[in-house]
Structures are given as C-alpha cells and as structure tokens.
A and B are shown apart, each in its own frame.
Chain A
Amino acid sequence: MKVRHNKGGGDEKVELQMTPMIDIVFQLLVFFIMTFKIVSQEGDFNIKMPLAAPAAGAPDDLQLPPMKVRLRADADGMLAGMSLNDTGVPTMKDLRIRIIGFVGDDRGPGSIQETAEVELDCDYGLRYEHVIQAITAVSGDIDGAGNVVKLVEKIKFAPPRQPAGG
C-alpha cells in the first residue's frame, strides 16, 4: 500500500481557530449571567377546609374543640393583639410555648398532637404575614439540631370578619 507522506516534513504546527469558540463561550456566559436569579426556597402550609356541611351523625366525643387563636389588627394592619382561647398572648414565641404545653410530648396515631386543631380568627385588615407567623408558631418548632418538631397540623380559619368600618 502506498502511503502518502507529508510534503512539509512534519514540523508544521496546526493552529486551531479559537476566536469563534471564544465568541460563543462568552455569549453563553453573558446569557447565563443575565438570566441568573437567586430564588429562595418556598414551602407550603397545608390547610384542609371543606365548605361547612351539615354534621352527619353524632359529633365525635374524642375530637377536641379547636384552640381559638384570635389575631387583632390596628388601623395599619399590623398585629395589635393576640389571644389563645381568650387568654392574652404577648408574642408569637409565647404562643408557641403555650401550644407546646398543650400538645406535650404525645406523638403518634390518636395523640393530642394529631387530633388537636387550631382555628385562626383574624381581623379583616390584618396583614397576611402575621397570619403566616401565627401558623408557623402553632404548626411547629425547630429544635437545637435544626429539625422541625411538628405541633398542630390541623389548622383552619374562622369565618371571615367584616372589614373595619364596613
């Protein structure tokens, strides 16, 4: 077989054209930098609220009455006061302590933690962030190791109140 030899003697350096590749690479880089957006994690608080239906049969004796959390708003919609079962609670931290005291360490099927229910009764004009703060306070706690300790899982809203002056 005849092998064709390189006429140049083999010492020629083959040069790659880098310019188009660098062009594209920089365009990609600019695209990713421009579209980059740091998005914080989001999570949900689940609420099951079927439309109130006429009770079928006798009420369940084992079902505890819901703990009523009342959130009052000032004229600006900021949290003006809070109570749990008509007893004043100064802060969200105190609300959580009261809920922990109620639920205790009882966990598992049929436990107080599983059956307990919280009903949120909020002023119409209250800013939603305070509602989420209250839901956070009643639904769980973060222990020293950073783990979430679940408290009350059943949360519902009381019927909406009328807007102030409405």
Chain B
Amino acid sequence: MRVAKKTSEGILEGDLTPMIDMTFQLIAFFMVLINFSQAEQNEEIQLPDSQLAKPPDGPLEFPITIHLTTEGMAIIGAQKVPIAALSPFLVKEKQVLASQGKGANEATIIIRAHRDAQTGHVQELIQKCQENDFEKFALRAKEDVGNN
C-alpha cells in the first residue's frame, strides 16, 4: 500500500475566531438574563396564576415576605413555623421598623401562598399580622401569559 508522505512540517492552525465570537455572545446572553434575586423565592411555593399580576412600577418601601405552604406552614426569612407561632417574628420586624422611625402600618406584608394552600390558612395569616398592627398586604401571583 502506498502511503502519502507528509511534505510540510508546518503546524495546522484552525481559525478560532468564529467559535470565540459565538461563545462570547452566549456568555453575554446568559449574563444579561441571569437573575440572582431569588431572596423572595421559595421552591416549595407555586404561586397561583393571574392575568393581572404585573410587576409593580417601583419597589415596595418596607416589604416583609411571608411564604405559605400547602400544609399551612409560614416561612419567614429562613424559618418555617406554624402560623400560630408567627408573632415573635412579626414583633422582631416591628422593632426593626421602629428603629427606622416607621410604624407597622407602613410596611407591606407580601403573602406568597401556594396555589393549593387553603384560603382559611391565608386568612389566619392575615389575622395574625393584623394582631401585630400590620394592615397592608400584597397577595402575590404569577403572571399568566395564557389566553384563558
């Protein structure tokens, strides 16, 4: 069998420019879309859908986020507690507000309840917050982009 002899000693160079172009474009794409603001999110919670759930124009001034699971457990900060045991946490939030010269009635309680949570639990949560002088509530929902 005849084997072709290599005639040149030169290094074969591929053109890396298109690959680097594409890679940088991909990185730019993911960097722009990445969302690190997951402090308000909880994997246990699946929010209900609503066509009218549009992001607010501006951030709330004193938001306090409380998640509510299907079992009726409230999650505030990193603590998962029954609704009945929520008062100490709300009192702490009130103290933080007081240190900034604000009252509980100026804060907004953001309720992120699971779509299958019982309405009675949501109402109990609202009642518990009312007992601690909170009166502004925001029921959070996920934007429904469907046509239903």
B139 touches A132 (CB 8 A): yes
Complex Cα distance, B110 from A145, in Å, reads: 30
B110 to chain A: which residues have CB within 8 Å? 44
User: Contacts A28-B27, A47-B138: A163 and B143 contacting too (C-beta < 8 A)?
Assistant: no
Select the stretch in A30-38, A80-88, A106-114 that faces chain B.
A30-38
User: Contacts A49-B135, A77-B118, A148-B52: A44 and B140 contacting too (C-beta < 8 A)?
Assistant: yes
B119 touches A29 (CB 8 A): no
Complex Cα distance, B31 from A65, in Å, reads: 52
Interface size class of B (residues with CB under 8 A): 35 or more
Contact pick for B49, options A29, A44, A45, A129, CB 8 Å: A129
Interface size class of A (residues with CB under 8 A): 35 or more
User: Contacts A136-B52, A139-B52: A131 and B118 contacting too (C-beta < 8 A)?
Assistant: no
A18 to chain B: which residues have CB within 8 Å? 16, 20
A124 touches B118 (CB 8 A): yes
B141 to chain A: which residues have CB within 8 Å? 42-45, 132, 136
Which partner residue on chain B sits nearest A163 by CB separation?
B120
Which partner residue on chain A sits nearest B32 by CB separation?
A32
B33 touches A46 (CB 8 A): no
User: Contacts A25-B27, A48-B136, A160-B127: A128 and B16 contacting too (C-beta < 8 A)?
Assistant: no
Starting from the known contacts A46-B137, A132-B141, A163-B118, 9 additional A-B residue pairs (CB-CB under 8 Å) come to A22-B23, A42-B141, A43-B54, A44-B53, A44-B56, A47-B138, A128-B114, A135-B50, A136-B141
Give the B-binding residues of A (Cβ under 8 A): 18, 21-22, 25-26, 28-29, 32-33, 35-37, 39-51, 71, 73, 77, 122-133, 135-136, 139-140, 142, 148, 157, 159-161, 163
